[in-house]
A and B are shown apart, each in its own frame.
Chain A
Amino acid sequence: MRVGPGAYLLLSALLFGIGVAGVLIRRNAIVVFMCIELMLNAVNLSFITFAKTNGSIDGQVLAFFVMVVAAAEVVVGLGILVAIFRKRSSASVDDVNLLKG
């Protein structure tokens, strides 16, 4: 059975929405990272879909870029998280509120 590009885009939107909700709601920093990854992957999916429907491979190239950037970002993010965790042995994002005005 063939599904149109619309279904892929809908899936992408849903994944993005779940990712956003997760970033806003979850307290554990690692879960927030995972939700960010989810958002990025959702965007990747929509890029691929559009590349297929437009017949050019620009979307696929962009998806590669996104994956590379996501990887680098995860390295840096996890590095920061580990450093914070060593200091205060808590991975909750609510605890890093020292910039409170």
Chain B
Amino acid sequence: MLLGQRLRRLAGWLATLAVAAAFVVALAAFFELLSHDAEGRSQVLRGYQWFASGDLRVAFDLRWDPLSAVMALVVTGVSSLIHLYSIGYMEHDERRETFFAWLNLFVASMLVLVLAQNFLVMFLGWEGVGLCSYLLVGFWFNRRLLLVNPLGRLVEGEPDDTYEVWAPPAAKKAFLANRIGDVGFLLAMFLIFATFGSLDFDDVFGQATGLASGTATAIALLLFVACTGKSAQFPLYVWLPDAMAGPTPVSALIHAATMVTAGVFLVARTHVFFEVSGTAQTVVVVVGAFTALLAALIAIGQDDIKKILAYSTVSQLGYMFIGVGLGPIGYAAGMFHLVTHAFFKAQLFLGAGSVMHGNDDDTDIKHFGGLRTAMPITFWTTMVAWAAIIGVPFLAGFYSKDQVLAAAFEHGGVGRLAWVVGVLTAGLTAFYMSRYVFLTFFGERRWPEGRHPHESPPVMTLPLIVLGVGAVVAGFALTTFTGEGGRFQRFLEPVLGAPEEHESLAGAFGLSAVATGVAAAGAVAAYLLYARQVDWLALRRRYASPWRALADRLYVDQAYELFTVTLGGALAAFLARTVDQRGIDGAVNGVAELVGSGARSGRRLQSGLVRSYALGVLGGAVLIVAFLVFRP
């Protein structure tokens, strides 16, 4: 944006370079952190004072400790790859400089969020990423985008897709849902300040252990409301699927790897409140489990590849929240799933973007099929990510997902329930992801006339390959098989505390086998249904009612619309007509009317007749004389 037209072509490279440099710096700082022993691994940089008002002093303080190091590395690392990818993806867009500027702004806000040392600076980053999400989702605000018809191939004569401008409403929905969550964050901050007199993490967390359980529950639940907004959990998840109106790199970065993980990070950072309040922990686990299941179900009924991945993200975020909601036993597991998910979900999104790029920006899975020969690199990298997400042994997702489930099982109580839901969801995840892969890359070709799918340029496929390697090795490089968690867990211990319970190797193996078995069953079911020739109409007619419900996103959006639009509209109409027009305007007009009629009656005294005036004078004179004569 600075050097204008001459550097247009270089805008993308400049932006990528900036983020890559940030990654290098983060890496250097990470190694510096490792050189300290475990206790000294937390450094605070006291910055410029922002403002001081009454008892509240807020400064731009930054914190570098294992937790923020993990987040910073994930954010900058995945961001650099996505910036690189975007150079190719946005090549033909006339506003690509703005795109890169906003993408950079997003990374900056996210870094402020994870590096913050007090709640207000974190909130600054929180709002910043929300803003950038709005800007980037609404990037193609005047472009007609493909909207897949949920009833396609179920009802005779319904078109597969329509073209509409649906980016601006999606952007507004994202921002508003986030805003509702932000109210929770603000209220939590007020409560924290009222209780502790400070917003700084060191001050607050130091005193938090002795907190009354009621206050801690309130703070924790308010913060969790913010998380449901930002990290798309029930009931505020509805913005994320709609946010697929944005360019695919945006979906990969913001809605898979970084922004939506801010909520998980928040719970991990403020874990002290959740530990003091058992109620809040239960709420987090239950909401996480419920969301995971709900989103997995909806994903089964989607024909738009990006929507499948969006609901998959919501579902996997549910797993992360199960992890961090369990207490010390699950923090590292939840955070580890965050890291691995960043890799394979970003890869899936970038792969989907690659598929779209080679198919005239079509997102409808009904028009794909047999693409593995036409787009080999995309195919193989997507298969790696598929294997990771469904939990094929020894890939990243296997380790992280099973760790979360094992921690849930060990925790007992609500954790056991979460384990059951989690295993079931793992099966559903395998089912819908396998469906996605089989329908896109295998089977017969369903391409429309005149389309020639081709592989994407290297600038797009290189990030896919790098992420693929990450998805494979991140698992066994960072952790071990049992609940002890290995290197990753030990690294995070200074911040998140050590778990009290461990489980046996046999126990972990058993649980893992169950989960993997269920996932395998899901994959096999999808293979039988989708891997060869697909008779859409027969298949959908056979399961018409459940299909309709799933394709229509289980009517959650419709419920919202009923509640907010219809009810709100009725309330607004009532207020406008009855209260405002009749009530308030009536009162104001009534006063004026009163004055008018008073004046009209008074006017009748002014008849203009001299004789009546004379009569008035006489009357007055008589009164005065009477008063003077009969004075008491």
Given contacts A24-B615, A24-B618, contact A93 B607 (CB under 8 A): no
Instruction: Report if B606 contacts A (CB, 8 A).
Output: yes
List residues 61-102 of chain B with CB under 8 A from any CB of chain A: none
B609 at the interface (CB under 8 A from A): yes
Q: Which of A5-58 contact B (CB under 8 A)?
A: 20, 23-25
Task: Give, as a whole number of angstroms, the nearest-CB distance from A73 to chain B.
Answer: 15
Q: Does B1 contact A (CB under 8 A)?
A: no
> Which residues between 586 and 631 of chain B lie within 8 Å of chain A, taking CB atoms?
603, 605-611, 614-615, 618
Q: Which of A25, A98, A99 counts the most chain B CB atoms within 10 A?
A: A99
The 8 A CB mask of A89-101 against B (1 = contact, 0 = none) is 0000110111111
Taking CB atoms, residues of chain B closer than 8 Å to A24 are 611, 614-615, 618
Contact status of A97 and B608, CB under 8 A, knowing A20-B618, A24-B618: yes
- Asked whether, in the complex, the Cβ of A101 is within 8 Å of the Cβ of B611, the reply is no
CB neighbours of B614 from chain A (8 A): 23-24
Q: Which residue of A lies closest to B607 (CB)?
A: A100
- Neighbouring A residues of B615 by C-beta, 8 Å: 24
Chain B min CB distance to A12 (Å): 15
* Min CB gap A15→B, angstroms: 16
**A94 contacts B611, C-beta separation under 8 Å:** yes
A93 and B611 contact, Cβ closer than 8 Å, known pairs A24-B618, A101-B603: yes
* Contacting pair B610 A101 (CB below 8 A): no
In-complex Cβ contact of A99 among B603, B606, B611, B618 (8 A): B606
Query: B150 to chain A: closest CB distance in Å?
Result: 74
Question: How far does the alpha carbon of A23 sit from the alpha carbon of B615 in the complex, in Å?
Answer: 9
Residues of B close to A100: CB separation below 8 A: 606-609
For the complex, give the distance between the alpha carbons of A24 and B616 in Å.
10
Task: Judge whether B607 and A97 touch: CB under 8 Å.
Answer: yes
> B623 → chain A, closest Cβ, in Å?
15
A96–B611 Cα distance when bound, in Å, is 10
Residue among B605, B608, B614, B618 with the most chain A CB within 10 A? B608
Q: Which residues on the B side are within 8 Å of A96 (C-beta)?
A: 608, 610
A94 to B613, CA, bound (A): 11
Cα–Cα distance between A23 and B614 once the two chains are bound (Å): 8
Question: Once the chains bind, are B609 and A94 in contact (CB under 8 Å)?
Answer: yes
Among A20, A23, A25, A99, the residue within 8 A (CB) of B608 is: A99
In the complex, number of A-B residue pairs with CB atoms less than 8 Å apart = 32
- In the complex, which residues 55-101 of chain A have their Cβ closer than 8 Å to any Cβ of chain B? 93-94, 96-101
The smallest C-beta distance from B617 to any residue of chain A, in angstroms, reads 10
* Interchain CA distance A28-B607 in the complex, whole Å: 19
Which residue of chain B has the shortest Cβ distance to A29 in the bound complex? B610
In whole angstroms, what is the CA distance A93 to B605 when docked? 17
Chain A min CB distance to B180 (Å): 61
Closest to A96 in B: B610
Q: Which residues of A are found within 8 Å of B605, using beta-carbon distances? A: 101
Quote the shortest CB–CB distance from B307 to chain A (angstroms): 76
Residue of B nearest to A25 (CB): B611
Min CB distance B320 to A, Å, is 82
Query: How distant is B506 from chain A, measured CB to nearest CB, in Å?
Result: 107
Q: CA separation between A100 and B606, bound complex, in Å? A: 5
The distance in angstroms between the C-alpha atoms of A22 and B143, with both chains bound, is: 93
Q: Chain B 506-545, CB within 8 Å of chain A: the 1/0 string?
A: 0000000000000000000000000000000000000000
Could you tell me if A101 and B618 are in contact, using CB atoms closer than 8 angstroms? Answer: no
Chain B min CB distance to A28 (Å)? 12
Q: How far is the CA of A23 from the CA of B610 in the complex (A)?
A: 10
**Given the complex, which residues of B lie within 8 Å of A20, measured CB to CB?**
618
B608: A residues at CB distance < 8 A: 96-101
Please name the residue on chain A nearest to B610 by beta carbon.
Answer: A93
For A101, the chain B residues whose CB sits under 8 A away are 603, 605-608
By beta carbon, the residue of chain B nearest A93 is B610
| Chain A: minimal CB distance from B69 (Å) | 87
Give the shortest distance, in Å, between A87 (CB) and chain B (any CB): 16
A93, B611: Cα distance in complex, Å: 8
A25, A94, A101 — most chain B CB neighbours (10 Å): A101
Per the bound structure, the CA–CA distance linking A101 and B606 in Å amounts to 5
Q: Compute how far the CA of A86 lies from the CA of B197 in the bound complex, rounded to whole angstroms.
A: 93
Bound-state Cα–Cα, A23 to B618, Å: 10
A97 to B618, CA, bound (A): 19
Bound state CA distance, A101 and B204, in angstroms? 77
Contact B611–A97 (Cβ < 8 Å): no
Residues of B within 8 A of A94 (CB): 609-611
A100→B605 CA distance, assembly (Å): 9
The residue of chain A having its C-beta at the shortest distance from the C-beta of B615 within the complex is: A24
Q: How far is the CB of B101 from chain A (nearest CB, A)?
A: 71
- Chain B residues near A99 (CB-CB < 8 A): 606, 608
**Most A CB within 10 A of own CB, among B603, B609, B615, B618:** B609
CA distance A96 to B615 in the complex (A): 16
Across the two chains, which residue of chain A brings its CB closest to B612?
Answer: A24
Within the complex, what minimum Cβ distance (angstroms) separates B621 from chain A? 10
Contact with A along B460-488 (1 / 0, CB 8 A): 00000000000000000000000000000
Query: Please, how many angstroms separate the alpha-carbon atoms of A66 and B597 in the complex?
Result: 45
B611 to chain A: which residues have CB within 8 Å? Answer: 23-25, 93-94
Least CB distance from A45 to B in Å reads 18
Bound CA span A96–B608, Å: 7
Shortest Cβ gap from B606 to chain A (Å): 3
Contacts of B607 in A (CB 8 A): 97, 100-101
Most B C-beta atoms less than 10 A away, residue of A20, A25, A98: A20
- How far is it, in angstroms, between the C-alpha of A100 and the C-alpha of B612 when the chains are bound? 12
C-alpha spacing A24/B618, complex, angstroms = 9
In the bound complex, CA of A43 to CA of B205 (Å): 102
- Which residues does chain A contribute within 8 Å of B603, judged by CB atoms? 101
Quote the shortest CB–CB distance from A55 to chain B (angstroms): 24
A99 vs B609: C-alpha distance in the bound complex, in angstroms?
A: 8
Q: Which residue of B lies closest to A20 (CB)?
A: B618
Q: How far is the CB of B240 from chain A (nearest CB, A)?
A: 72
> B603 — nearest CB in chain A belongs to which residue?
A101
Q: For the complex, what is the distance from the CA of A94 to the CA of B608, rounded to whole Å? A: 8
User: Could you list some 27 contacts between A and B, CB below 8 A?
Assistant: A20-B618, A23-B611, A23-B614, A24-B614, A24-B615, A24-B618, A25-B611, A93-B609, A93-B611, A94-B609, A94-B610, A94-B611, A96-B608, A96-B610, A97-B607, A97-B608, A97-B609, A97-B610, A98-B608, A99-B606, A100-B606, A100-B608, A100-B609, A101-B603, A101-B605, A101-B607, A101-B608
Q: Which residues of A contact B (CB under 8 A)?
A: 20, 23-25, 93-94, 96-101
**Nearest 3 A/B pairs, CB to CB:** A101-B606, A100-B608, A97-B608
6 extra interface residue pairs, beta carbon distance < 8 Å, beyond A24-B611, A24-B618, A101-B608: A23-B611, A24-B614, A24-B615, A94-B611, A97-B608, A97-B609
